[in-house]
Structure 1
Amino acid sequence: MKTPAATLTGVVALAFADASIVALALPAIYGRFDTTIVGVSWVLTGYAVAVTVAAVALVLVRRWLPTRPLAMAGLALFAAGSAWCGVTGSLGGLFAGRVVQGVGAAALLAGALELLGGHVGRDRGRRLWSGAATAGLAVGPALGGALTEAFDWRVIFIAQVPVALLGLAVLALSPTPTPTPTPAPVDGDSGGSAARPLWATAGYVTLFAGLVGALFLGVLLLVEIWRFSPLVAAFVMMALPAGTIVASGLTATVQPAVRVVGGTLALCAGLVGLAFLPAASLPWAAAALLLCGAGSGVVARVLSSAAVPASGPLVRSGGSVVAAKHAGLVLGLVVIAPLLAGSLTAGAEQSVVTGTGVLLDARMPVQEKLSLALSVRDTFAEAPRGAVPDLGAAVDTANRSSSTTAVVQEVDHRLSAVLTRAFRPAFLAAAALALLTVLAAFAVRGRSRSGVQGAPRALARAAPAAVLAVLVLAGPALVAAEMRAGARDYGRFQETDPCAAPADPYPGEGVDELVQRVAYGALHGAACELGLSRERFLLALAGQTGFADVRWDPPTVERTVRAAANRALDDIEQRGDLPGWTVSLVRAAVRSMPLEEILRIVGLR
C-alpha cells in the first residue's frame, strides 16, 4: 500500500477510534471531575454529536469543498482539539475540546474516503475506509485502557496530536490522487434502488446504538463495579474487535440480507448475555463481548457496501455513513446513560440493604458485629461520589477473626453482584435498539457472489452459511448457560419478613448468643409493627434516609418499642430461655413501665 493510502487509513481508524478510545478512561474522568454518570457520558456523546452535525453539514455543501483541503483542515482541527483535551483542567474544557475534535473528524473522514479512492481505486478505498472504521471503533477502548493504565487519561489525547500532525504532513506533501475507473460492485452491492443507501444508513444508526451498549456499559462494569484495572479491562474488551475481524470475513459469501438478520441476532444475544452475567467473571463477559463483536462485524461489512454505492460522490456517501454511525452512538448513549444512572441509584440503595442483611445473618460476637457494621457504614460514607467502595481494602481485618474477614468478603461480593444486576436494564435497552437493525435487510436483498467456480462451489457457499448459523445459535446457548450458572438470581437479595421470622434466629448456648436472640426478637417485633423488613427498619433507626418512610413521632416510637418488647418476650418464652413465671413478671412490668424508662433501660436514652 502506498504511503498516502496507508497514512489515510491510519488516521481514519484514529478518528473512528476517538468515539470509543476514552471509554476505559471514563471512570478516571468520573472521579477527577464533579459530575454524574450522565455527565461523564457526554465525553463520548459530545464528540459523537459534533461529528454527526458536522458530517450532515458537509453532505449539504460537499460540491463547493475540494477534497484534500477538506481532509487537511479536518486533521488540523482534530489535532488542536486533542491538544486542548490533554491540557484542560475542567470538565467544560474537556467537552469543548471533544466538540472541536468531532468537527475535525467529520471533515477528515468525509474527505478521506474520496482520497483513498483516488490513491488505490474506488472499491479498494471503500473497503479500506470501512475496515479502518470498524477496527478503530472496536480497538479504541483497549488502546485507551492501556494508555490510562500505563500513564494517565490525558495521554490518550496528547498521543493523538503527533499522529494527526504526521497525517497532515503526508497529505500536504503527497501528490494529488487521480480518479480511477469504478470497479464492479462486490459483496452483495449490485446497484439497486436509490433507497438502498438510505436503508443501510439507518441500519448503521441502530447498529451503533446497540454496539455502544457493549462499549460504554462493558467498560464501566469491568472497571467501576468489578474493579479490574484499565489494562485488564482493555484485554477483555479486545474480544469485541476479535469477533468483528474473524466473523465478518468467514461469512462474506452468505446472502447479504441473511447476514444482516443473523449478525443482528448475534449482537442482540451478546448484549442479553452481558445483561444476565451469572458472576463477576471475565470469561463470561469476554464470551458475550466476542458474540457482540462477531454480530456487529457481520452486519457492518454488508452495510458498508450498501451505504457507499459503486457510483455517486464519495464525500456525500462518506459523510452520510459518518453521520449515521455517530448518530447511533448518540442515540445509544442518550437512551442508556440515564437508564443506567437510575438503575445504579436504586442498586446503591439495594446494596446497602443487602450488606445490612449479610451483617445481621453473620455468626460473630455482638460487639464485633457492631464494630464491623460501623466500619462498613463509614466506608460507604467516605467513598468518593459514585465510586464503589472496596470493603476488603477499606475495612481493617488484620486484628479481626477469620470469620469477620469472611463476612467482609461476603458483603463485598454481594455489593458487586447487586450493582452488576443494576446494569441489566441498560444492556437490554441496548439490545432492543440493536434489534431494529434487521430492518436494514430490505436494503441488501439479493444474492451474494461467492467468486468460486467448479466443484468446490457448493462447499464454499455452505461453510460460511454454517459459520453464520453457529454464530446465531451461540447466542441462545450462551444465555442458557448463564441461566444454568445462576444468572436469574445473581444480585438478588430477599429481605427478611420480620413477622414471619423464626423465634430462634441466632442459635447457640452462650450469653452472647442469648443477647443476640433477644435483640433479634425485639428487632423483628419493631419492624413487623411498622410493616418494614428488618434491614430497612435498622437503617431507618440508624438515621439513614431513603430506605423507609418512618415518622418518629412519640406515638410511633411508643408502639414500636412496646411491640419490640412483646416480641422479644414472646420469643424468649417460646424458646424456653427463661421460666414462664419470670417472663410473665417482666411482661407485666414492661406493660406498666413508662416509655422513657424502657428507653433508658435499653440504652436509647
Structure 2
Amino acid sequence: MRTPAAALTGVVALAFADASIVALALPAIYGRFDTTIVGVSWVLTGYAVAVAVAAVTLIAVRRWLPTGPLTMGGLALFAAGSTWCGVAGSLGGLLAGRVVQGIGAAALLSGALELLSAHVGRERGRRLWSGAATAGLAVGPALGGALTEAFDWRVIFIAQVPVALLALVVLALSRAPALEPESGEPTTNPLWATAGYVSLFAGLVGALFLGVLLLVEIWRFSPLAAACVMMALPAGTIAAGRLTATAAPAVRVVGGTLALCAGLVGLALLPSASLAWAAAALFLCGAGSGVVARVLSPAAVPTSAPLVRSGGAVVAAKHAGLVLGLVVIAPLLAGSLTSGAEQAVVTGTGVLLDARMPVQEKLSLALSVRDTFAEAPRGAVPDLAAAVDTTNRSEATTAVVKEVDHRLSAVLTRAFRPAFLAAAALALLTVLAAFAVRKTPIGYPRWRAAPTAILAVLVLAGPALVAAEVAGGALDHGRYQETDPCAAPADPYPGDGVDALVQRVAYGALHGAACELGLSRERFLLALAGQPGFAGVEWDPSTVERTVRAAADRALDDVQQRGDLPGWTITLVRAAVRSMPLEELLRVVGLR
C-alpha cells in the first residue's frame, strides 16, 4: 500500500475510533468532573453529534470544497480539537474540544474516501475506508483503556495530535492521481442501506458504552483488564465478516442483526461477574455487526455515486446511530442505577440482618459498611471486601463482608439489564436494511453454501448463549426478596445464650414495627436510621406510639411462642408495657 493510502486509512480508523476511544476513560472522567452518567455520556454524544451535523452540511457545500484541502483542513481541525481536549480543565471545556474534533473528523472522513479511491482504485478504496471505519470503532475502547491504565485519560487525546499532524504532512507532500469515473447503476438502494447504519450503530454503542461502565464501575476491573475483554468485540467483527463474506446479502443482514441482538441480550442476562460470559456476548455483538457492515458498505457507497457525498452520508448515519443509542440508553441507565443503588442498600441490609454473628459485632460491621459507602467517591461502587477492616474479625464476619460485596455487584449488574435490552431493540431495526440489499452488490461474487452455513451457526450461537446464561441462574442474578415482617417466623435467630435471646427479641420488635407501618424490615430499618432515600416515614407522636407498642407486642408474642421465658413473666411484662406512658417506654427501649 502506498504511503498516502496508508496514512489515509490510519486517520480514517483514528477518526472513527474517537467515537469510542474514550469509553474506558469515562469512569475516570466521571470521577474527575462534577457530572452525572447522562453528563459524562456527552463526551461520546457531543463528538458524534458534531460529526453527523458537519457531515450533512459538507454534503450541501461540497461543490465549493476541493477534496485535498477539505481532508487536510479536517486533519488540522481534528488535531486542534484533540489538543483542546487534552488540556481541558472542566467538563464544558472537554465537550467543546470534542465538538471541534467532530467537525474536523467529518471533513477528513468525507474527503478521505475520494482520496483513497484515487490512490488505490474505487473498489479497494471503498473497502479500505469501510474496513478502517469498522476496525477503528471496535478497537477504540481497548486502545483507550490501555492508555488510561498506563498513563491518564488525557493522553488519549494528546497522543492523537502527532498522528494527525504526521498524516497531514504526508498528504501535503503527496499528489493524488485523477479519479477515473465509473459507469453503471447501483443495484441496491443507498438510502435504505445508509439508514441501516443508524440502527446498527445505535445497538452497537450499547455494547461499547454499557459494557465499559459495567466492567470498570460495577465489576471494578482495571481499564487494561476491561480493554482485553472488549477486544472480543473487534475479534468477532473481523472473523465473522470474512467467513460469511459470500453468503446471500439479505441473509447476512438478517443473520448478523439477530447475532448482534442476541449478544446484547446475553450482556443483559449475565449470570455472574464473569469475564468469560461478557467476552462471549461481546464476541457475538462484534460478529453480528461485522457481518452486517460488510453488506451495507458496498450498498451505501455504490461505485457510480459521488464518493464525497455518499461517504459523508455514511459518516453522518453511523454517528447519528451513536447519538440515537446514547440518547436512549444513557437516561435509561441513569434511572436504573438510581433504583439499583437503592435496592443494593436494601439487599446489603438484609444480608447483615440474616448474618449469624454476635449482636455487637453485627452493629460494628453495619457501621463500617455505612461509613465505607459514605466515604466512597461520588458514583463509585466501594469494594467492601477491601475497604472494611477484617483484621480483628472472625472468619464468619469476613465471609459476611464478601457476601454483601457480592450481592451489591449482582444488584447493580442487574440494573444494566433495561439499557442492554433497549440497545437490542434498536439494533433489531437493522433487519429493514435487508430490503435494500436483496440483489448482489457490484463487485461481490454470488453466494455460496459454506459461508451461509457458518452464518447459520453464528445465528444459532445467540440462543445457545442466552439459554446457557438462563441455566446458570441469570434470571435470578441480582434479585433479592425483601422480608415480609408480618409473615416472618417467630424464631428468626436460632441459638442458645443471652446474645441469641437478645437478637430474637430485637428481630421480633423489628418485625412488629415494620408490619405496623406496612414496610419490609429492611426498609423500616433504613428509614429508622435516616438513610437518604428511605426517610419516608412521618414520625409524628401518633405514629411513634403505635409503632413502638406494635414492636413490643410482637416481641413478647414471639418470646411466648418460642418459650424463651415463663408465661407469667411475659404476662407481667406485657401489662407493664401497655400501662407505661410513651415517653417512659421510649426511655426503656433506648430511643430517648
Give TM-score, length-normalised by structure 2. Answer: 0.98
> For the residues of structure 1 that align with 2:314 and 2:305, how far apart are their CA atoms?
14
What CA distance in whole angstroms lies between the structure 1 residues aligned with 2:549 and 2:578? 8
What is the 5 A alignment of 1:501-516? 501-516=488-503
**2:25 equivalent in structure 1:** 25
Which of 334, 339, 342 in structure 1 is aligned with 2:335? Answer: 342
Q: Distance in 2 between matches of 1:500 and 1:578?
A: 22
CA shift digits 1:221-279 (9 cap, x unpaired): 00000000000000000000000000011111111111000000000000000000000
Deviation string 1:362-385 (CA, Å, 9 cap, x unpaired) is 000000000010111111112111
Per-residue CA shift, 1:80-133, capped at 9, x if unaligned?
A: 000111111111110010000000000000000000000000010000000000
Aligned residue-pair number: 592
Equivalent in the alignment of 1:124: 124
> Which residue of 1 is the match for residue 252 of structure 2?
259
Report the alpha carbon displacement of residue 178 of structure 1 after superposing the two structures with TM: 2.0
Partner of residue 429, structure 1: 422
Q: What does residue 187 of structure 1 align with?
A: none
What corresponds to 1:59 in structure 2? Answer: 59
State the secondary structure of the residue aligned to 1:6.
helix
Q: Deviations over 1:544-577 (max 9, x none)?
A: 2323621100000000000000000000000000
Deviation at 1:181, TM superposition (A): 5.5
Within 5 Å, which residues of 2 pair with 1:447-466? 447=440, 461-466=448-453
Unaligned runs of at least 5 residues, structure 2: none
Q: For 2:194, what is the secondary structure of its paired residue?
A: helix
Matched with 2:169 is 169
After superposition, the Cα gap between the structure-2 partners of 1:436 and 1:212, relative to the gap in structure 1 and judged at 3 Å, is same
Alignment check: 8 A CA contact 1:253 1:450 kept: no
- Is the CA contact 1:499–1:525 (under 8 Å) kept in the aligned structure 2? yes
Amino acid at match of 2:213: L
* Alignment-mate amino acid for residue 544 of structure 2: V
Q: What SS does the corresponding residue of 1:488 show, helix, strand or coil?
A: helix
Q: Which AA in structure 2 matches 1:577? A: D
Give me the whole-angstrom Cα distance separating, in 1, the residues matched to 2:10 and 2:183: 24
| Offset at residue 183 of structure 1 (A) | 8.6
Please name the residue that 1:603 is paired with: 590
Which whole-Å CA distance do the structure 2 matches of 1:551 and 1:76 have between them? 62
Deviations 1:298-323 (A, max 9, x none): 00110001000111210001100000
Is residue 97 from structure 1 mapped to residue 97 from structure 2 by the alignment?
Answer: yes
The Cα shift of 1:598 comes to: 1.2
Aligned to 2:361: 368
Contact 1:23-1:141 within 8 A present in 2 as well: yes
1:8 paired residue number? 8
CA contact (8 A) 2:181 2:304 kept: no
Selected match of 1:585 from 572, 588, 592:
572
Moved more, 259-268 or 541-550: 541-550
Q: After superposition, what is the alpha-carbon deviation per residue over 1:465-522, rounded to whole angstroms, capped at 9, x for unaligned?
A: 1110011111111000000000000000000000000000000011100100000000
Quick one: percent identity of the two aligned structures? 86
Give the AA of the match of 1:550: V
Q: How far off is 1:348 after superposition?
A: 0.4
Q: Give the letter for the 1:228 counterpart.
A: F
CA contact (8 A) 2:298 2:442 kept: no
Amino acid aligned to 1:517: R
Q: Within the alignment, does 1:442 sit opposite 2:435 as a pair? A: yes
Q: Deviations over 1:3-43 (max 9, x none)?
A: 00001000000000000000000000000000000000000
Deviation at 1:182, TM superposition (A): 3.5
Q: CA deviation at 1:451?
A: 7.5
Q: Distance in 2 between matches of 1:326 and 1:175?
A: 30
Question: For residues 210 and 575 of structure 1, what CA distance do their matches in structure 2 show?
Answer: 57
Q: 1:472 to 1:150 in 2, by over 3 A?
A: same
Residue 141 of structure 2 corresponds to 141
Q: 1:46-445 maps to which residues of 2 (within 5 A)?
A: 46-180=46-180, 182=182, 191-192=186-187, 196-445=189-438
Out of 533, 542, 557, which is 1:546 matched to?
533
SS of 1:483's equivalent in the other structure is helix
Q: CA deviation at 1:463?
A: 1.2
Residue in 1 that maps onto 2:472: 485
CA distance in 1, matches of 2:532, 2:237: 47
Distance 1:383 1:288 in 2: 31
Distance in 2 separating the partners of 1:545 and 1:385: 15
Query: What do residues 560-596 of structure 1 show as CA deviations (whole Å, max 9, x unaligned)?
Result: 0000000000000000000111111111111101111
Whole-Å Cα distance in 2 between the matches of residues 450 and 74 of structure 1?
Answer: 30
Spell out the pairing of 1:509-548 with structure 2 (5 A cutoff).
509-547=496-534
2:481 aligned residue: 494
Aligned equivalents of 2:214 and 2:276: distance in 1? 14
**Structure 2 CA distance for aligned equivalents of residues 73 and 498 of structure 1:** 69
Q: What amino acid maps onto 1:307 in structure 2?
A: A
The answer on whether the counterparts of 1:123 and 1:183 sit within 8 Å (CA) in structure 2 is: no
Tell me whether 1:468 sits opposite 2:461 in the alignment.
no
User: In 2, distance between residues paired with 1:447 and 1:254?
Assistant: 10
Is the 2:299–2:441 Cα contact (8 Å) retained in structure 1?
no
- Kept in 2: contact 1:537–1:548 (CA 8 A): no
- In terms of mean alpha carbon deviation, does 568-577 or 590-599 score higher? 590-599
- Cα distance in structure 1, aligned partners of 2:173 and 2:442: 39
Cα 1:551–1:351 change in 2 (3 A) is same
> Does the CA contact (< 8 Å) of 1:109 and 1:318 recur in 2?
yes
Tell me how far apart the structure 2 counterparts of residues 442 and 107 of structure 1 sit (CA, whole Å).
Answer: 30
Instruction: Report if aligned partners of 2:240, 2:288 keep a CA contact under 8 Å in 1.
Output: yes
TM-score in terms of structure 1 length: 0.96
